[in-house]
A = this chain, B = another copy of it.
Amino acid sequence: MSKVTFQIEEGTPVCVECNAGDNLLELARRVNVAIDAPCSGNGSCGKCRVKLLEGTVESPQSRHITGEEYEDGWRLACCSRVVGDCVVFVPDIASAYQSRMKTADLSSPQEVAIFEACEQGLAESGIHFVNRFRSVVVTMTPPSLEDTMPDNERFSWALEEALGVDKVEIPFPVMRSLASKLREHDFTVRVKGVLTEAGFRCMEISDPEDRVIAGAAIDIGTTTVTMVLTDLETGKLLAKGSSGNGQIRYGADVINRIIQQSRPGGRKKLQDAVIRETLNPILVKLCQSAGITARSILQLSVAANTTMNHLFVGVDAEPVRVEPYIPSFFSWEDLTAHDLKLTANPLAPVRIAPNIGSYVGGDITAGTLASGIWNMEEMSLFIDLGTNGEIVFGNRDFLVSCACSAGPAFEGGDISCGMRATDGAIEACEIDKDTMEPELTIIGDEGQRAVGICGSGIIDLISELFRCGIINAKGLFVREGRRVLRDQHGMGRYVLVFPQDSETGREVSINEVDIDNFIRAKGAVFSAIDTLLQSVDMTVDMIDKVYVAGGIGSGINMKNAVNIGMFPDVELEKFRYIGNSSLAGAYAMVMSDEAAAKTGEVAANMTYLELSTYPGYMDSFVAACFLPHTDARLFPHSRQEC
């Protein structure tokens, strides 16, 4: 037996006995030591860095660890095996996704724009923001020896009169506190609840002054979780926030998460990671920020992909991953906050935007609702770029959809210097064709130095490298210069920021492996669009509108995206970036019964195309793995100037 001590940055050390030969990352997971491992332990992402403080481990030197770092004791946990007692330092990378929790400034018009646009757009399509939740004050005559009616009958009678309903339902958690609440507030209480077919269902009894009834709309992305709290009566946005999805330490993509959840105890771990570690802290934070109690949240809605939905409700997702790719459910009725232990009123219904296939989930059906394409005459293409890419095409008459396994490249994953679009990310870039010198736009305050590069920056960079003839159609470096360097194996890279100029003291660059990864990602997107159009016998020139949604950010340069063959070569005016449409759809579903019903309808009418088994898709994908494409006629506007 060997003893491994994990010395966690800003945490309590964790000691564990294990066998020689045990994998260090596995061991850490076993004892719940969080180590970021987006590639889920295959050595490709290089994010699971730990530092050996005492003892040794058996660990090859990886391309992600420099010789100097290796000397210092840095190792990739996923490639390390225990050989004896040792102490390893675990950087606080893993909890970083939690500390990255952000609340948005709702006084910024930009923040509220997508919700206003969604509400207005839906109103024009006849969907009104109306719900059946109510908040009322009721007063009763206190009991006496002459009037010994039991509490629940006294309360029901008063409430029936106040609301003009025939029957009041008092569920267990409310009933349980009824005696105390009535006496605490001298038989004048605030009642929050919902009108039902039979009458009224009480959800909360509180102080008469405690007016607000709230809804929480949640977008559970594979990488990022975003949430908005709204006032169910007034429609006002109360708070908005986001953080990384705590499941990230179980893998960056849905496939690795499904593999992890299939292990013993895995379902609970993955569910805890998203609910207890991610959603509940945001709920608490947003309630504080809005000055309301969590029990005032009477409705929740969730837009998430099929796998996230399964992991969220704690249902085995393994059948989603393996042939014949069967989700346990498309839609799920009667789910409550209590079922999932969400920090909200335990009776609050949780509306899940329905899935329509294994890889087209509620995030897309909610996004489609918000985009409004289901009610348009124009032929519209809806592209949601998250950790995966999903595409919907159609109009009011029909809708087809598919998913492409684009991977996390658009969010900075699978790219050595990739990062999400936060402070320090290069979000845009131009390159001087002659000098090959870049001009960078970096997210953050003035003077912010570069840390890495995010999705929109990578699109610009590759487009510019291609335009300037620095890389060829296969993504290989074909020009030499101060910024084009090669390692000992001859692999080329382009240096955006030299070590002395970066925030971290490490070079920010893109190499041929990164570019290849990215080309596969953009190839997956384009070939999916191409195949989807073919499946309905249509062509690129029939597209009237292109809605681009997702976390890639408003900074995306459509021209560059077309230039590299990621999006179809249509007039640039047809493109529109609509932001986080999944969240906008979830917002509509939480505020409006009609919107929720319409999402169900849209989902029921949407055809799902399983690309992996669609004839010709693989050929189309291979053809798209060039800059811009093997068939250059598809991209007449793509330019290579050298």
Binding site for B on A (CB under 8 A): 143-145, 147-153, 169, 171-172, 175-176, 178-180, 183, 313-316, 318-319, 323-330, 332-336, 339, 355, 357-358, 610, 613
Known: A171-B334, A172-B335. A315 touches B148 (CB 8 A): no
- Residue numbers in B under 8 Å from A358 (CB-CB): 148
Q: Are A324 and B151 in contact (CB under 8 A)?
A: no
Provide the bound-state CA to CA distance between A172 and B338, in Å: 10
Provide the bound-state CA to CA distance between A357 and B148, in Å: 9
- Residue numbers in B under 8 Å from A153 (CB-CB): 329-330
Q: Are A175 and B329 in contact (CB under 8 A)?
A: yes
Q: Are B324 and A148 in contact (CB under 8 A)?
A: yes
- Residue numbers in B under 8 Å from A152 (CB-CB): 328-330, 332
Contact for A148 among B148, B313, B314, B325, CB less than 8 A: B325
* Closest chain B CB from A148 CB (angstroms): 6
Q: Are A176 and B319 in contact (CB under 8 A)?
A: no
Known: A143-B324, A148-B325, A339-B172. A316 touches B613 (CB 8 A): no
Give the top 6 A-B pairs by smallest Cβ distance, nearest first. A179-B328, A179-B316, A172-B339, A152-B329, A145-B324, A150-B327
Q: Are A328 and B145 in contact (CB under 8 A)?
A: no
Known: A150-B327, A172-B334, A327-B150. A315 touches B145 (CB 8 A): no
Provide the bound-state CA to CA distance between A148 and B326, in Å: 6
- Residue numbers in B under 8 Å from A613 (CB-CB): 145
Provide the bound-state CA to CA distance between A355 and B332, in Å: 38
* Closest chain B CB from A178 CB (angstroms): 6
Provide the bound-state CA to CA distance between A324 and B610, in Å: 68
Q: Are B175 and A315 in contact (CB under 8 A)?
A: yes
Known: A145-B323, A319-B183, A613-B145. A150 touches B314 (CB 8 A): no
Provide the bound-state CA to CA distance between A613 and B148, in Å: 13
Main DSSP-derived SS at the A contact region: loop
* Closest chain B CB from A560 CB (angstroms): 37
Closest to A319 in B: B179
A/B interface sample: 21 pairs, CB < 8 A: A143-B319, A147-B324, A148-B324, A148-B357, A149-B326, A150-B327, A150-B328, A150-B329, A150-B355, A152-B329, A169-B333, A169-B334, A172-B334, A172-B336, A175-B315, A175-B328, A175-B332, A176-B313, A178-B328, A178-B329, A183-B319
Q: Are A329 and B145 in contact (CB under 8 A)?
A: no
Provide the bound-state CA to CA distance between A610 and B148, in Å: 11
Most buried by B among A150, A183, A315: A150
Provide the bound-state CA to CA distance between A171 and B329, in Å: 13
Provide the bound-state CA to CA distance between A333 and B171, in Å: 8
Provide the bound-state CA to CA distance between A520 and B313, in Å: 60
Q: Are A316 and B180 in contact (CB under 8 A)?
A: yes
Contact for A329 among B151, B313, B324, B325, CB less than 8 A: B151
Closest to A356 in B: B150
Contact for A315 among B178, B334, B339, CB less than 8 A: B178
- Residue numbers in B under 8 Å from A175 (CB-CB): 313, 315, 328-329, 332
Provide the bound-state CA to CA distance between A269 and B332, in Å: 37
- Residue numbers in B under 8 Å from A355 (CB-CB): 150
Q: Are B314 and A176 in contact (CB under 8 A)?
A: yes
Most buried by B among A147, A175, A183: A175
Provide the bound-state CA to CA distance between A314 and B183, in Å: 16
* Closest chain B CB from A31 CB (angstroms): 26
- Residue numbers in B under 8 Å from A150 (CB-CB): 326-330, 355
Closest to A310 in B: B179
* Closest chain B CB from A198 CB (angstroms): 11
Contact for A179 among B176, B179, B315, CB less than 8 A: B315
Provide the bound-state CA to CA distance between A355 and B150, in Å: 10
Closest to A181 in B: B316
Known: A315-B179, A319-B179. A151 touches B328 (CB 8 A): yes
- Residue numbers in B under 8 Å from A148 (CB-CB): 324-326, 357-358, 610
Provide the bound-state CA to CA distance between A148 and B148, in Å: 59
With contacts A147-B324, A148-B610, A178-B329 known, what are 5 further pairs, Cβ within 8 A?
Answer: A143-B324, A150-B329, A153-B329, A171-B334, A183-B319
Provide the bound-state CA to CA distance between A144 and B125, in Å: 38
Provide the bound-state CA to CA distance between A339 and B176, in Å: 10
- Residue numbers in B under 8 Å from A169 (CB-CB): 333-334
Provide the bound-state CA to CA distance between A332 and B170, in Å: 9
- Residue numbers in B under 8 Å from A172 (CB-CB): 313, 334-336, 339
Provide the bound-state CA to CA distance between A350 and B321, in Å: 40
* Closest chain B CB from A109 CB (angstroms): 40
- Residue numbers in B under 8 Å from A149 (CB-CB): 326
Known: A150-B326, A327-B151, A334-B171. A315 touches B176 (CB 8 A): yes
* Closest chain B CB from A144 CB (angstroms): 5
Q: Are B171 and A326 in contact (CB under 8 A)?
A: no
* Closest chain B CB from A150 CB (angstroms): 5
Known: A169-B334, A171-B334, A319-B151. A326 touches B143 (CB 8 A): yes
- Residue numbers in B under 8 Å from A315 (CB-CB): 175-176, 178-179
Closest to A326 in B: B143
- Residue numbers in B under 8 Å from A313 (CB-CB): 172, 175-176
Provide the bound-state CA to CA distance between A358 and B183, in Å: 17
Provide the bound-state CA to CA distance between A332 and B169, in Å: 10
